[in-house]
Structure 1
Amino acid sequence: MTTEQQNAIAILPQFVINRAGEKVKFERAKIENAIKKAADETGEFGIETARRLTASVLKVLIYRNNNHTPLIEDIQDIVEQV
């Protein structure tokens, strides 16, 4: 893992606020799985594109992370935008 990747991981949120209003652990795999699922359902793109889209979502999260815990809806909005 490069230093840049390690720094990015450190900047990602540690937690998110789920739809029930609970603070839960942030899991990047859930974002990737949701994007993969959409890809499988639509057939519009494959796994590599899903991974690139996940990376884009994470970059936006890092950019927007002002030391606050994001809402799951905010992450969903980012996924829809990328």
Structure 2
Amino acid sequence: MARVSVKLDKDNYLVQLGAAVRARRVALALSQEALADYAEIDRSHMGKIERGERNVTFLNIVKIANAFQCKPSDLFIDAGL
């Protein structure tokens, strides 16, 4: 079941960010498990982030960006945010 904060995301920002993470991961030919390992985030949690089912913390956005060797702002740009 989705968390309450996700239900409040009526503009689908979490879905957009998750899609941007997934697109970048696929473009780099990384598995979800590999990305989760590099970012030190549980693989199942990474899947929920990519599907927009979790309200991603700032620290996890930084970890994901570091795993991609990009800036956190690049992920927001990719997401159109």
TM-score, scaled relative to structure 2: 0.36
- Rg (Cα) greater in structure: 1
TM-score, scaled relative to structure 1: 0.36
